[in-house]
Structure 1
């Protein structure tokens, strides 16, 4: 039996819910588990961790709690939220309930001062903050202490991001420990997620203080999604998968999302589906903010059939009537997969979820796994560099001094910041001098866990048991049982049938070779600090021209052909005939295309006078045979190779400055090649197997230009990306 005060509180809570969902009749009622969370936050001022399936109504809990707490004189609710899409949706939702919500994130810097003034004046009910703000020096040191003191409710949305056991670890979230420690006694805290297994749940609870607090509430509900019908369709190759989608996209209910594993695949699939008459848009990490918002709005309004998206469209996107989610390629984790398919079927009775796994999936998993937390040696070297510096070092200043790309370097520094070993200040990063221990056991466990998750996704694609039950068990749902709806429980709803026309079009599209290779035009910053006297723009007379590649390694077309050919363990063989013929086709299209030497344009550059290869210790036969085939078919002389002065430099997956340091003095133009260039007097084709950073091509081109080549046109088999 509820106490009278709680009964009144429940009535008030239901009234707020009715306004939130737009129910003019006032008949809307909170579910018992939602009410239990609100009661704990408002009446008992407790900390709570809510692990509930997507669509359960977690946002209703914190908006209703906010309204009730504000009516009782509490300060504003602070919601730490990972994605701008979520923020936009939630500001609109809050407004329906009479809750004034504002955001502070990287996309609205011009509004920060006004927002802070509104907070000070007490005009803001909810402040949504992106996690990276928590680690911004000005925000952390000036805004966060005042905000912590005034906060009436702290909400950590998508709380699995706190845990590096989880599938979407974000080190900025670790800064929440500081905010939690600064909260006045009695301020309630709500952490929410839909995608946490038992290990992640325990880790999040511990980090948020909900684990060590005796009166903390943990609400963990069943994860079955009754509206979702899961299925897997195994097709022979990428062309069959694209053709199937083109033929069957209109058969899928409503509008939805087609997920791909890479940006390149998203762009390829979008272009192909548009050619086949479908209204779709791409949505990736490279999509501009304004274009992202337009794409989201178009999907919400059903102006497009689908967004073709990477994981950039994930947490926080809210379209209750989303009718389907299709994956062209398998995510590497059941937790990540569950989170993405959970976008569908939140407000409809039936939604289709279909996985179309590909042979290239595992190579993509391997690439992303290689970007894990750096080795202890690299971390220690970074700490040493910071300790020796007499001033804060910015990322551009630090990057040339360590063998890490900027994105990995920044992530590592954020982890070290939370661990107390470094600190972000105005002007960059400094070492604190505090002792720090490399948690090798934890990082090794995470790596092993990733391998276990990858194996689980292989098993998901082949299991004959219930697919929903499979996912629930991997999220440690004790209530997992057969769903009765998936393709294994019921009759499969889709067959592999597709039209010859769509398959021919897909093969033609995927078989289309040729990717532009943009040359390097600027030297990376910080080279003088590592003893290389180069900076600013590369002189025009030392640059390569725009080049061409047969394909990207991340392509689902030529990428699938090139990955095994260029794999580290692949034998060094002569260039295969199909690859050589495709390269010749790329060369012909290049020559005849806009700005090509055979285009007939009045300002067309001169025809190449010869072919030069880049020497290789790992694939000498492949590269020499490729250069020779191009020279033979193009009726050009094979002038020679840019050689290594000694052993080939070690080439870790590193940043531009470190790559240039490894190449400094390593390449040379032999006298015989220099003589041939002087005699030929014209531009040359520079042939290599692969480019990732573009710096080997840039250095080789610079040497060739200095040796007399009037232009250098790079031609490679593959680019990374």
Structure 2
């Protein structure tokens, strides 16, 4: 039987809430006090699933105030993004809560933060899930912190779940942390984007159960309606990338206030921002590759309405808090309605109306497929990593040199294996635990199947003639869903369709832009000597390649489509078309080299010999340069596959090219290939040509991957 609410707790909680929001008449939303009471009086484990803007942070900051007043230790708040941490610290201070963070950007402050913890001067410690597995933090600080923790909060808790749209392996470790905590320490998990499957999974991770019941059965779940009455949703299907950009050029200033323009790739974000800036729009690009300080600066400019929009990838998502955000526009669709709901939820949180428009692209499915497969562990690779590790710690760079897996996928795989208990991060690197491990093929097949189903649901959202908000609510298993009366299907199209002629020309010109720099390799990879490649440190200046050029990236909005067709799996090896050759000539014409090339040399190609040969001959003929032919192959030529781990790729290329049969002139040589990925092929080939007498080597390729 549930006890009657504590009047003392409610009065104290209401006072803290009003201090937090700065309004003496503020009151709790439905479910807010119930969650606070369960945490403070009941010391329970709770899952709160509520729409963005409902006030989930108020629950944990008010609960922290009350728990600290009862003598409890600090709250540990696990938060996924630095931007979110900054906003949470600012909100905490308004509630009279002393919050500090330990993250990758403030290492110089850690000593002070830890001293504050020791003096019990911290109410909330914000940490990333990755920090929980930092060996020093995990072994030296975490046990003491767990012993006196007043409450654990897991923000953006859908990241715990395999089934969540933004699953992160590091979040999965939280189940181990929760298992070590005393049963009377309250735990709160919050998210705005969880369907029923994710909710069950998260509740199980929280670990509470009733006597003889299922894991998670004892978790209090508070779920509210997810309808966003302020949002006006719409979908505008246009012919191609040029049309979408032209529409944006024509109508960006018509969108209310300031907002976010989401793209699916880094290249699309950077190119779109450049186009808009070039034609007078005050925007900034924001991606995972943007410098941390620049990202913080951009967030602040959007908060203060100093820019019209940030053109962003999903790097700008969870936790970004601008209550008056006027619009969210997508150039290309996210891979699931759940992910889409999470992103559009940034808009209209404290305003009566905000516009949300999706402009899907024909390339969306290819991009979805790439990201879905890139995140899945591979059995053979996993077994290779486990087999390479032992009791002695091995650093990630050293391990990379042993297992032929590139750094980013290797780091992700190590996290998955760590969570599975097969490997462990310690001081100095990684070790094998010796625990039995098997590849859970059934689990990954289920996840892959769910990803495909989510993609189909997103296509259904684009094509539905029913209410779009109702569709998104049902995708999150919200049984309160009903027609919104505001979206384009409920109330008619609210957005214009016409595109200005000047904008069409400007967009087409932007997409037709060619020429991407290829930065030369300056240093040999660590561990090359393990494969009997006798190099280390910096590449000698007289053996380096010069800065190269590619026609375009495979991910580019413009030429990327042409190149993706050319390099598609199973595509025929054909001679270069006149259109592509003309684009390459434009790249060469705009290349500000210090000295014009005096000859052309091609790299021998195993997969596209006709394409590379015709490209090299075509450029030589148009440029009136001698075509010297292909580099020779030694010992059967390169081994292994393009791209891949740097050490293994270098090992497969080392001493496999020869220029002995070519008469290399004294001057710059244009080195032609089809595709650049790791750049080691160009690096080794350039070294061969430099040693044969070329004063400079200028690499040129059709496509740059990524």
2:644 paired with 1:654:
yes
- What SS is found at the alignment partner of 1:319? coil
Q: Which residue of 1 aligns with 2:176?
A: 178
Contact 2:382 2:417 in 1 (8 A): no
Q: Which residue of 2 aligns with 1:272?
A: 275
Deviates more, 1:175-184 or 1:59-68: 175-184
2:325 paired with 1:322:
yes
2:706 paired with 1:708:
no
- What SS is found at the alignment partner of 1:507? helix
2:443 paired with 1:442:
yes
1:640, CA displacement in angstroms? 0.6
CA RMSD between the two structures:
1.7
1:663, CA displacement in angstroms? 2.2
Contact 2:75 2:124 in 1 (8 A): yes
- What SS is found at the alignment partner of 1:384? helix
Q: Which residue of 1 aligns with 2:540?
A: 539
Deviates more, 1:180-189 or 1:42-51: 180-189
Q: How many angstroms apart in 2 are the aligned matches of 1:444 and 1:355?
A: 30
Deviates more, 1:139-148 or 1:700-709: 700-709
User: 1:375-390 alignment to 2 at 5 Å?
Assistant: 375-387=378-390
* Residues 631-678 of structure 1: per-residue CA shift (max 9 Å, x gap): 11001111111244426633165221122223234x3226432xx21x
2:589 paired with 1:588:
yes
Q: How many angstroms apart in 2 are the aligned matches of 1:647 and 1:472?
A: 56
Q: Which residue of 1 aligns with 2:477?
A: 476
1:177, CA displacement in angstroms? 2.1
Q: How many angstroms apart in 2 are the aligned matches of 1:213 and 1:455?
A: 30
1:226, CA displacement in angstroms? 1.0
2:73 pairs with 62, 72, 75, which one?
75
1:128, CA displacement in angstroms? 0.8
User: 1:336-415 alignment to 2 at 5 Å?
Assistant: 336-387=339-390, 391-415=392-416
Q: How many angstroms apart in 2 are the aligned matches of 1:69 and 1:118?
A: 18
* Residues 554-586 of structure 1: per-residue CA shift (max 9 Å, x gap): 111111221111212221111111110010111
Q: CA 1:481/1:653 → structure 2, altered by over 3 Å: closer, same or farther?
A: farther
Q: Which residue of 1 aligns with 2:621?
A: 632
- What SS is found at the alignment partner of 2:374? coil
Q: How many angstroms apart in 2 are the aligned matches of 1:356 and 1:126?
A: 41
Q: Which residue of 2 aligns with 1:599?
A: none
1:20, CA displacement in angstroms? 0.6
- What SS is found at the alignment partner of 1:451? helix
Deviates more, 1:135-144 or 1:331-340: 331-340
Q: Which residue of 2 aligns with 1:8?
A: 8
1:60, CA displacement in angstroms? 0.8
* Residues 30-79 of structure 1: per-residue CA shift (max 9 Å, x gap): 02311111111111110001111111211011011111111111111110
Q: Which residue of 2 aligns with 1:600?
A: none
Q: Which residue of 2 aligns with 1:220?
A: 223
* Residues 253-295 of structure 1: per-residue CA shift (max 9 Å, x gap): 1111001111111111111111221111111111112111111
Q: Which residue of 1 aligns with 2:579?
A: 578
User: 1:395-544 alignment to 2 at 5 Å?
Assistant: 395-544=396-545
Q: How many angstroms apart in 1 are the aligned matches of 2:39 and 2:515?
A: 58
Q: How many angstroms apart in 2 are the aligned matches of 1:609 and 1:710?
A: 10
Q: How many angstroms apart in 2 are the aligned matches of 1:443 and 1:659?
A: 29
Q: How many angstroms apart in 2 are the aligned matches of 1:126 and 1:113?
A: 16
1:398, CA displacement in angstroms? 0.5
Q: How many angstroms apart in 1 are the aligned matches of 2:367 and 2:489?
A: 27
User: 1:596-635 alignment to 2 at 5 Å?
Assistant: 596=593, 604-605=594-595, 607-635=596-624
- What SS is found at the alignment partner of 2:497? coil
* Residues 136-161 of structure 1: per-residue CA shift (max 9 Å, x gap): 00000011111111111110000111
TM-score, normalisation: structure 2: 0.96
2:192 paired with 1:208:
no
1:175, CA displacement in angstroms? 2.2
TM-score, normalisation: structure 1: 0.94
1:663 pairs with 653, 660, 666, which one?
653
Q: Which residue of 1 aligns with 2:678?
A: 693
* Residues 173-229 of structure 1: per-residue CA shift (max 9 Å, x gap): 122123212222311000011111111111111112146255320112222111111
1:86 pairs with 76, 81, 84, which one?
84
1:449, CA displacement in angstroms? 1.4
* Residues 387-438 of structure 1: per-residue CA shift (max 9 Å, x gap): 2xx6210111100111222121112112222222111111000111111121
Q: How many angstroms apart in 2 are the aligned matches of 1:663 and 1:473?
A: 53
Q: Which residue of 2 aligns with 1:335?
A: 338
Q: CA 1:199/1:4 → structure 2, altered by over 3 Å: closer, same or farther?
A: closer
Contact 1:233 1:495 in 2 (8 A): no
Q: Which residue of 1 aligns with 2:212?
A: none
1:189 pairs with 187, 190, 200, which one?
187
2:234 paired with 1:231:
yes
Contact 1:324 1:352 in 2 (8 A): yes
Q: Which residue of 2 aligns with 1:311?
A: 314
Q: How many angstroms apart in 2 are the aligned matches of 1:507 and 1:415?
A: 43
- What SS is found at the alignment partner of 1:489? helix
Q: Which residue of 2 aligns with 1:46?
A: 44
- What SS is found at the alignment partner of 1:430? strand
Long gaps (5+) in structure 1:
597-603
- What SS is found at the alignment partner of 1:410? helix
- What SS is found at the alignment partner of 2:270? helix
Contact 1:231 1:354 in 2 (8 A): yes
Long gaps (5+) in structure 2:
210-214
2:263 paired with 1:260:
yes
Q: CA 1:568/1:642 → structure 2, altered by over 3 Å: closer, same or farther?
A: farther
2:118 paired with 1:120:
yes
Deviates more, 1:151-160 or 1:417-426: 417-426
Contact 2:643 2:678 in 1 (8 A): no
Q: How many angstroms apart in 2 are the aligned matches of 1:87 and 1:344?
A: 19
Contact 2:637 2:657 in 1 (8 A): no
